[in-house]
Chain A
Amino acid sequence: MEALLANVVWADIAQALLDTLIMLGGSLAFSVILGLPLGVILFLTAPRQLLANRAANAALSFTVNVLRSVPFVILLIVMIPLTVLLVGTSLGVAGAIPPLVVGAAPFYARLVETALREVDRGVIEAAQAMGATPRQIVFGALLPEAMPGILAGATVTAIALVSYTAMAGVVGAGGLGDLAIRFGYQRFQTDVMVVTVLMLLALVQGLQWAGDRLVIKVSRR
């Protein structure tokens, strides 16, 4: 055992795990807080929807596409001035969260938009026929009906963020992925690589399992 995991420093691994979890939790929370309303607005302003608005929809859609087409590593770097403005530093765990959010929120917004499109048009029409306002339709009908898709989208986003966090090592954010790259890959410490990758795998498995459970819990179809 000792020889097998000679290079593994468990304290470092624990620290890396903690860093990953903080980055993941923080960036997922902000991605949902920003992505959910963005997805709702994308849906509502689309042609033939409740608040159809061609110009607003085109502008938002274009912005989302721009952000989604920039490779994450480049986003990390070009965002440095904005990151400093937002969190006071461009380094470490805190410095990684703004670019993670800017990378993931538009992605999540698209997943939310797709989930909302799946909602039966008849249900929206029934709510309109009752005299519901757009706000009442969104909160009383659309979001509850789309909840399974919205939660499944959050799961996909969380897992995508796990792999983004690995790249956040570029700004010295640490985390499991960073450990795997720096020690496991660059210094040929295969045992460190295996341990960190296994932990990442466990994390992804756990997220998927928890997400699936949540989706089942809210599905009533």
Chain B
Amino acid sequence: MISFQAVGKTFPRAPSPALKDVSLEVRPGEVFGVIGQSGAGKSTLIRLINGLERPSVGRVVTDDDDVGALDAAALRALRRRVGMIFQHFNLLSSKTVAANVAYPLKVAGMPSSAIGPRVAELLDLVGLADQAAKYPAQLSGGQKQRVGIARALANGPKILLCDEATSALDPQTTEQILDLLAQLNRELGLTIVLITHEMEVIRRVCHRVAVLDAGSVVESGEVAEVFLHPTHQVTRRLVADAAGLAAAKIEGGPPTLRLTFRGQATFEPILGRIARDTGVDYSILAGRIDRIRDEPYGQLLVSLVGGDVAAARARLTAAGVRLEEA
């Protein structure tokens, strides 16, 4: 659906490139996350997808179009197939909610008789049917982002780009907006590219993720894999913020293990049973049970003492628990 082929981007007069040799593939119908710290190049990356920036080297292919090679008219045609929402919403403050949603329809040349019903349908989809006559200044942040989403979906795009779409919202509103995005992905088969600096956002809605650091992709893969078993230090730091597992290590104490349970195993009394059978004592130093999208997982930091530790480890592995030295 979207493909980056050895893409580099250097801004004029910038000392270092904003993106270096980025290659990635976004599959149709998935929610793809890009995470990185401030200045990592996330916005630059997402803006390459709809041609708001052009690559300095390499190719960006969006929905079968080589973005860098399009002329102005072809680029506009592509942009009508790709919706975008923004951190600061970027609504027209001079227009009502309904007129904001109608604007992209007018831009695309929809006859005015068809615009009214389509706007009503879109506002219904984002749960704002009763706010049509208000102006953006009269809405809450969450409502503004819903208008942004309705506007981005107006022309029925296949792809939705989200540039820090929840970064200006409180945690509860963030959750609601992410739920809406997940719903749109499921029900409309919308491909979503979402950039953020918060691992929590990735954990909630993304299928796959790429970690960006100083313009390079340093890690990428299935969200559960990257989130539960981060390898690059930037990823570890981002995950530690979200998981809170790093803090509990004791210097000089017994060796600690990180146990990861996924899926149904999360809810089974595996650890207790194996400890009893092997005579091992365990203490839990830290832990978290939660979900990655819809999949439950548990992650425990434990130390095992006494008994047959080797047998305990073998049985844990056999039960589908992943063990890592922490």
Q: Which residues of A are at the interface with B, using a C-beta cutoff of 8 A? A: 120, 122-123, 125-133, 136, 140-141, 144-145, 147, 218, 220-221
Smallest CB separation, B132 vs chain A (Å) = 15
Chain A positions within 8 Å of B135 at CB level = 220
Do B93 and A129 touch across chains, with their CB atoms under 8 A apart? no
- A123: B residues at CB distance < 8 A: 90-93
B102, closest chain A residue (CB):
A140
Cβ–Cβ contact B103 & A141, under 8 A: yes
**B75 surroundings in chain A (CB, below 8 A):** 131
Q: For B76, list chain A residues within 8 Å (CB).
A: 131-133
Kindly state the separation between the CA atoms of A49 and B49 in the bound complex, as whole angstroms.
21
Extra A-B contacts (10), CB below 8 Å, given A123-B93, A130-B103, A221-B137: A120-B88, A129-B79, A130-B107, A131-B80, A131-B108, A132-B104, A141-B103, A145-B92, A145-B94, A220-B94
Please give me the residue from chain B that is nearest to A121 by CB atom: B90
Question: Are B90 and A125 in contact, with the CB atoms below 8 A?
Answer: yes
Closest-CB distance, A141 to chain B (whole angstroms): 6
How far does the alpha carbon of A50 sit from the alpha carbon of B94 in the complex, in Å? 21
Tell me the bound Cα distance from A85 to B180 in angstroms.
65
**Distance between Cα atoms of A126 and B92 in the complex (Å):** 9
Q: Judging by beta carbons under 8 Å apart, are A122 and B137 in contact?
A: no
B91 pairs with A128, CB closer than 8 A: no
- Choice from B78, B86, B151 contacting A131 with Cβ under 8 Å: B78
List 30 A-B residue pairs with CB atoms under 8 Å apart, sorted by A's residue number.
Answer: A120-B88, A123-B91, A123-B92, A123-B93, A125-B86, A125-B90, A126-B86, A127-B103, A129-B52, A129-B82, A129-B84, A130-B79, A130-B107, A130-B151, A130-B155, A131-B76, A131-B79, A131-B80, A131-B104, A132-B104, A133-B76, A136-B106, A136-B107, A140-B106, A141-B92, A141-B103, A145-B92, A220-B94, A220-B135, A221-B137
Q: Closest Cβ of chain A: how far from B80's Cβ, in Å?
A: 4
Given A129-B79, A131-B107, A140-B106, residue A147 in contact with residue B90 (CB < 8 A) = no
Question: CB distance A131 to B92 under 8 Å?
Answer: no
Complex contacts, B78 vs chain A, CB 8 Å: 131
Residues of B within 8 A of A218 (CB): 94
Query: Is B50 an interface position by the 8 A CB rule?
Result: yes
CA distance A217 to B136 in the complex (A): 16
Smallest CB separation, B67 vs chain A (Å): 13
User: DSSP majority for the A interface?
Assistant: helix
Task: Please indicate the chain A residues that have their CB under 8 angstroms from the CB of B94 in the complex.
Answer: 144-145, 147, 218, 220
7 nearest CB pairs, A to B? A131-B79, A122-B90, A126-B90, A131-B76, A131-B80, A144-B94, A129-B84
- Of the candidates A126, A136, A147, A220, the one whose C-beta lies within 8 Å of that of B84 is A126
Q: How many residues of B contact A (CB 8 A)?
A: 29
Q: Which B residues form the contact surface with A (CB < 8 A)?
A: 50, 52, 75-80, 82, 84, 86, 88, 90-95, 103-104, 106-108, 135-137, 151, 155, 161
Q: Is the CB of A129 within 8 A of B50?
A: yes
* CB contact between B52 and one of A120, A125, A140, A145 (< 8 Å): that residue: A125
Q: B66: shortest Cβ distance to chain A, in Å?
A: 17
| Residue of B82, B90, B94, B161 with highest tally of chain A CB at under 10 A | B94
Q: Which residue of B lies closest to A146 (CB)?
A: B94
- Whether the pair B52, A132 counts as a contact (CB closer than 8 A) is no
- For B161, the chain A residues whose CB sits under 8 A away are 129
Contact A128 B79 (CB under 8 A): yes
Contacts of A144 in B (CB 8 A): 92, 94-95
> How far apart are the CA atoms of A93 and B77 in the complex, in Å?
52
Give the nearest-CB partner of A220 in chain B: B135
Q: How far is the CA of A141 from the CA of B99 in the complex (A)?
A: 11
- Choose among B80, B86, B106, B155 the residue that contacts A122 (Cβ–Cβ < 8 A): B86
- Given the complex, which residues of A lie within 8 Å of B77, measured CB to CB? 131
**In the bound complex, what is the Cα–Cα distance between A186 and B164 (angstroms)?**
69
Contacts of B155 in A (CB 8 A): 130
A122 to B75, CA, bound (A): 19
Residue on A nearest B136 in the bound complex, by CB:
A220
B292 → chain A closest CB, angstroms: 30
Shortest Cβ distance from B194 into chain A, in angstroms?
15
8 Å CB contact of B137 from A129, A140, A145, A220: A220
A125 to B50, CA, bound (A): 11
Q: A127 vs B104: C-alpha distance in the bound complex, in angstroms? A: 8
Q: How far apart are A124's CB and chain B's nearest CB, in angstroms?
A: 9
Q: Which residue of B lies closest to A120 (CB)?
A: B90
The residues of B that contact A141 with a CB separation of less than 8 Å are 92, 103
Out of B79, B84, B93, name the residue touching A221 (CB < 8 Å): B93
| Contacting residues, chain A, for B151 (C-beta < 8 A) | 126, 130
